[in-house]
Structure 1
């Protein structure tokens, strides 16, 4: 008789405690990166390697973390917390702050948290359906699975992470943003080169052009143009890939049915409508709109949330990146055309931005788990593994939203907001100011051209605009130096060199962001 495999639980005391600790670390990394650099990175590998590191300590209780399925639960919790805190919850809250509406901070926090929970639940329901097959690429998910399997065989990888964390912390304390060097060793080289150039152009724009480019809404306009093109690019990718996969899908057996798809989409839309209504009532939108416009607002917000989530999820599955900034921006522009007032637009773009990142991130994590569990060969084990990953992801999100509640004001009071929030608010203001609208339209043209030239994989326009939004020239120099080191290492040591840089880069991010959080954000250890 064949032995039935039992999947580890996300609520095992050891796993649960480590998941909470990793989620706190993930939240700190997410908040530090989104506010200081405008981007977030996948932290799955950090959680997994810390689990491996603990398993190698001489304590019997920790040996259980040598199991890849437990490592998968830990990486799921940390990555869920990273994107949950940064993209799904704090980014929406930052919009209301920049609009000068502190009274909307708590309603937006509640709305974004509930939206992110629905987001995660939707991918749990839809993973390995005809729309989101498990066998499709989900590139970061494959990368994490390969790293976990390789690290399990080579314990020294976990030590490399530790060395990277120590180095990252020391370098950050000396005033050099080691976290961006870590990101440069992990992400797309072309995209990050444009990000670095954007940081340098913004940082030295007065010396280069005699004025700050921000004054004429150059970064905002470039982001709008690039965002529009990014959306067109991803729609083309999705339609092309769907055609290519149709024949293959005919012979593939999904673990979820057509009925599951219908049920997930119906329930998802219903939940989004209810949460949008709660958000509208808490935000007092009924006082500034007619009854008809008020009803249309929460229905439109629910449609925007669902459509944005699906576009972002399909992009993540096929291309390995998700255009969450761009989709939220498009629905914001539609909202402006519908003549919604400014507070309603702020809540609309925040609510839309909250959906998608958690969906995409959990899609990556489920792909990692699917590979580790044997690619669906044992259906019962696979379905139980997914369920436990869902619990781990929700654990990460609960920690993330708590961290945002505790530290949002600390960031906002220091004008540390996600740079893309400035684009959203400038766009809202442009609806009432023809002068701002003129600049945004003018600079949207070069943004669209740069994004089109780079293609969908490189995201040149989006990353260039993100760099332009941040006045942090030393980060730009750090990016370019780190990319030069990466290029030299890969030339000499090929794939093995790049694999080592992935692990060291993850360590630099973890060490640097921790030191930044305690010294720069909380002002601890500073005179």
Structure 2
């Protein structure tokens, strides 16, 4: 059973009501201000601690506080939907500045090629823009369904709702948030426990197992899994199967029924009208808003746009002149494919677990480049372009999930949902633009002080060190079990991708947190249904149990996020 918002959201739409606009003056001003804050937080933490926190809860809290100021237009910020726009923008600015822009341009800088920083920034900006566009086009398809976990999105939605309604559920969320904060201060990964209350049980079980293996394998088996590239091999196999599964999901199985039934139901702006007989318009949030054809178009458009971005990077980076035509074509195709694969794997992992293995998947691309004997500078640009995709893709998914939960009871639902999603996308674009400006201004000062993202230094060190001849064999060997596990679990569980994610993340004690939360979740669900024999009553009991635990999980994640932001004090 998928998690849902614990109670109906406040301020639902009246028939015919429009969703608040992203470019309303008060909303835009607060959005820009919070985006500046988010971008600065992201840059400071990624260069000092190597992490980029989720700032969406902070954005929501600030918007709530502004809404409590009894000054005319500021009162409008009491709307949960406007708060959702602000939290979307600040989190987008944070991940864009830290992961999608600063990390890529640090690669050529650390390599000693400062002349390539600006071309790489342009390429990273294109990667970021395409990344966000693709997610906007395919969110709530069968591949990336809104009903899936997206844990940070649930945390943001519950925080916004609790601030608006108060009551017992707000108290539960608050106590859980305090517990998450205290646990994080004690160096416990409380966010992992929160995720355990929210996500797909099968996916999270594999994630927890991967975390435990990564934690104890070095001591028990005397082997460093990451140094042996075993998790990377598993991810390669799981990733290949995940891509095949994604392709299969793009098939429109109803196309054979498209016989003469001309009645059409208008879709939201920008999409092809749906045939009422073969794909009825969604009556409510239980029905997906994107069908197989829209998923297919979105991913194909993404591939074409990534190809264009790769050409721009090749030309502005000066590598086109040093390559043969076949070599240049191969580089462009590899860069575009790597960018698309990277965003999908990162997005799938984030959707189920709340973690995304962006560093590890980029490292896999780097290894492939070394195997293909790509020259140093083209390889550095390939790595930077790939790294620009993924994190923002996942973050937008979190924010769209939060908005989807807050809009679930709107009437009529479909136009309000699609309008709200579009406004969130526009708010995120504001955050991305602010992040680009901040990075363009700040990168030189940070880099000249030696404040370079640690992951970028790892990429450069790996490029310069070259590849052990046995690494490719290891990747191929371990790709086999990764592929098998992913195939067995299917696209809805992503078991292979999540097992590899746990092995790659390797956060101490996180495995126990995830599996412990799953045990509590199962036990609580069974306890609540005791003595109930009627199937309908059992389903209702299970849903109530999921709602209760979703609130606890959201609080734990929110508290952990506050602690992450608090890490900023260590750098000042």
Gaps of at least 5 residues in structure 1 are none
Q: Contact conserved, 1:181 with 1:482, CA < 8 A, in 2?
A: yes
1:155 to 152, 160, 166: 166
Whole-Å Cα distance in 1 between the matches of residues 116 and 452 of structure 2? 19
Q: Contact conserved, 2:15 with 2:411, CA < 8 A, in 1?
A: no
Match of 2:556 in 1: 505
In the alignment, is residue 235 of structure 1 matched against residue 247 of structure 2?
Answer: yes
Match of 2:3 in 1: none
- Select between 210-219 and 14-23 the one with higher mean Cα deviation: 14-23
1:501–1:340 Cα change, 3 Å: same
In the alignment, is residue 495 of structure 1 matched against residue 546 of structure 2?
Answer: yes
In the alignment, is residue 15 of structure 1 matched against residue 50 of structure 2?
Answer: no
By how many angstroms is 1:63 displaced?
2.8
More helix by share: 1
In the alignment, is residue 70 of structure 1 matched against residue 87 of structure 2?
Answer: no
Whole-Å Cα distance in 1 between the matches of residues 324 and 179 of structure 2? 57
By how many angstroms is 1:268 displaced?
6.9
Match of 2:280 in 1: none
Q: Contact conserved, 1:69 with 1:369, CA < 8 A, in 2?
A: yes
Q: Contact conserved, 2:116 with 2:317, CA < 8 A, in 1?
A: yes
How is 1:359-398 mapped onto 2 (pairs within 5 angstroms)?
Answer: 362=396, 365=399, 371=407, 374=410, 385=420, 388-398=423-433
By how many angstroms is 1:392 displaced?
0.7
Whole-Å Cα distance in 2 between the matches of residues 411 and 417 of structure 1? 17
Q: Contact conserved, 1:66 with 1:152, CA < 8 A, in 2?
A: no
- Select between 138-147 and 492-501 the one with higher mean Cα deviation: 138-147
1:127-161, CA deviations, whole angstroms, 9 ceiling, x for partnerless residues? 79xx969x975646897598589648732455655
Give TM-score scaled by structure 2 length.
0.67
Whole-Å Cα distance in 1 between the matches of residues 52 and 492 of structure 2? 16
By how many angstroms is 1:169 displaced?
4.0
Match of 1:177 in 2: 189
1:362–1:197 Cα change, 3 Å: closer
Whole-Å Cα distance in 2 between the matches of residues 449 and 136 of structure 1? 23
By how many angstroms is 1:383 displaced?
7.6
- Select between 163-172 and 500-509 the one with higher mean Cα deviation: 163-172
Give the secondary-structure state (helix, strand or coil) at the position aligned to 1:499.
helix
By how many angstroms is 1:208 displaced?
0.5
How is 1:117-136 mapped onto 2 (pairs within 5 angstroms)?
Answer: 117-121=129-133, 126=137
Whole-Å Cα distance in 2 between the matches of residues 231 and 517 of structure 1? 37
- Select between 69-78 and 246-255 the one with higher mean Cα deviation: 246-255
In the alignment, is residue 297 of structure 1 matched against residue 358 of structure 2?
Answer: no
Whole-Å Cα distance in 2 between the matches of residues 111 and 473 of structure 1? 35
Q: Contact conserved, 1:29 with 1:514, CA < 8 A, in 2?
A: no
Q: Contact conserved, 2:190 with 2:557, CA < 8 A, in 1?
A: no
In the alignment, is residue 417 of structure 1 matched against residue 455 of structure 2?
Answer: yes
How is 1:208-247 mapped onto 2 (pairs within 5 angstroms)?
Answer: 208-239=220-251, 242-243=252-253
By how many angstroms is 1:285 displaced?
1.9
1:163–1:352 Cα change, 3 Å: same
By how many angstroms is 1:511 displaced?
1.5
In the alignment, is residue 195 of structure 1 matched against residue 207 of structure 2?
Answer: yes
By how many angstroms is 1:76 displaced?
2.6
1:436-469, CA deviations, whole angstroms, 9 ceiling, x for partnerless residues? 1122222222322333343333333323323333
Give the secondary-structure state (helix, strand or coil) at the position aligned to 1:215.
coil
CA RMSD of aligned residues (A): 5.4
Q: Contact conserved, 2:235 with 2:482, CA < 8 A, in 1?
A: yes
1:279 to 295, 313, 317: 313
By how many angstroms is 1:189 displaced?
4.1
1:238–1:257 Cα change, 3 Å: closer
Match of 1:84 in 2: 96
How is 1:416-435 mapped onto 2 (pairs within 5 angstroms)?
Answer: 416-417=454-455, 433-435=468-470
Whole-Å Cα distance in 2 between the matches of residues 346 and 10 of structure 1? 37
Give the secondary-structure state (helix, strand or coil) at the position aligned to 1:504.
helix
Aligned length: 509
Whole-Å Cα distance in 1 between the matches of residues 204 and 99 of structure 2? 19
Give the secondary-structure state (helix, strand or coil) at the position aligned to 2:226.
helix
Give the secondary-structure state (helix, strand or coil) at the position aligned to 1:214.
coil
Give the secondary-structure state (helix, strand or coil) at the position aligned to 2:20.
coil
Whole-Å Cα distance in 1 between the matches of residues 231 and 245 of structure 2? 21
